Structure 1
């Protein structure tokens, strides 16, 4: 079901899902933290095999949630430090056991201030953050992938990224050892009532088109319903080898109608989800 974050501004509603798909294991992880000081929402996609990928993604989410909850700041250097801590934790874990030596993970995260008036994001790899405002979809993040480089160089149309044979080849991820910084905004951006965000792994966005994300958003009455409606598309289209798929939906106010300031009792907590 949908959960309401404890912020002093407009109502913030969020929901999450993480599914195994048709893979042997689920290596995705999702997590969130919220209080009167702010909120963060994180999705990570692990790689490295069972005992590796799932450990890497959970390590990334736990490390970033813990660090942000201790100092919920939206400055770029603060957000980049969270990812650096997650990368260090994963690299440390690589030396603990042989089956962890190749583990890595992508990550994408959205952060809100305590008033839900400012937001910041960061990502590494091909887990994405989407932003929806006034019935338009804005892709906030650009994949750190070989195929995205083809698009940037004018060698491939954006519409051909999905289904491309090399779409899963990444040049940056947590634990890869490459000196490539994560991508964050120079400054936080303003949030408006009616904004919606979707943080999702490639197993999700490769199946659900941006136009479909928006169509289902306009038909949904809650963040959880939005995820359920999109998951139905994935289930209907599942083929042999369907990847793990995970998503975290965040609504500020209601994307379909005017809202009033939320004054219900707040919630406070730290939670990691991986099911």
Structure 2
């Protein structure tokens, strides 16, 4: 019997934008039972361009995950998704005379109690243990570099005038994306993950996010987080998109049969 079962859900809100340019999805692998993927992409690039870029990320993830088998390497799969999506987005931008870009963050949970993730840009993955925040991915952004250099604090980065400038995206015509990986083994009941665009994480502390996810089902957490993000945006919110993945106790098997004394056949 599995040590846990996976509860997952996705959520989106337009925010105060005129177009939803984020995409989010959850997938199972038809050729690899026990594997699941969550992916979030935040598109950029003007009207329709960003949405098309993010959509391409999700489509590529689904296509390649459909062709995944257990003997294949998960990190190689994630790298292939990024590279293939980047190439298609870049070519589409050239043909349309636009510059569509997208961020990428994806999580794969394996049947071996292991979580593996990859990302490019400032869409984040958070990892929690029960109500406790453990870690989140490090943004590929200009302000994050300033933080690393000690020039600004994390709080100052949120309101910095160049906080929306990314140094790593899919679709750039000048620079290929680089991929950052993370992993955690020994998954157990109570572990959870949140993948989200900056339209969500911008408005919360790490502790707030961990508490919301731990205390609620994925659907309840989604409703709570979107409501609070909308309140805190004060009419200037970005697209808000995320996926919640929780590891919970498997249901107790109920006996669906009745044992009776066997009669002797004549």
* TM-score, with structure 1 as normaliser: 0.83
The corresponding residue for 1:256 is none
The corresponding residue for 1:245 is 240
The corresponding residue for 1:34 is 28
The corresponding residue for 2:257 is none
Unmatched runs of 5 consecutive residues or more in structure 1: 1-6, 254-258, 265-275
Please tell me whether the aligned partners of residues 28 and 45 of structure 1 are also in contact (alpha carbons under 8 angstroms).
yes
Larger radius of gyration: 2
Unmatched runs of 5 consecutive residues or more in structure 2: 255-266
Residues in 2 aligned to 1:22 and 1:262: alpha-carbon distance in whole angstroms: 44
The corresponding residue for 1:235 is 230
The corresponding residue for 1:269 is none
Q: Which has the higher contact order (CA 8 A, sep 6+)?
A: 1
Structure 2 CA distance for partners of 1:14 and 1:83, relative to 1, 3 Å: same
* TM-score, with structure 2 as normaliser: 0.86
Residues in 2 aligned to 1:219 and 1:66: alpha-carbon distance in whole angstroms: 34
Residues in 1 aligned to 2:34 and 2:246: alpha-carbon distance in whole angstroms: 18
Following superposition of structure 1 onto structure 2, how do residues 1-275 of structure 1 map, counting pairs within 5 Å? Answer: 10-35=4-29, 36-72=33-69, 73-98=72-97, 101-113=98-110, 115=111, 117-177=113-173, 178-185=175-182, 189-220=185-216, 222-253=217-248, 259-260=249-250
Structure 2 CA distance for partners of 1:63 and 1:215, relative to 1, 3 Å: same
Task: Give, in angstroms, the shift of residue 129 of structure 1.
Answer: 0.2
Task: Give, in angstroms, the shift of residue 80 of structure 1.
Answer: 1.2
Task: Give, in angstroms, the shift of residue 37 of structure 1.
Answer: 4.1
Task: Give, in angstroms, the shift of residue 97 of structure 1.
Answer: 1.9
Task: Say what the alpha-carbon RMSD is for the aligned residues.
Answer: 2.1
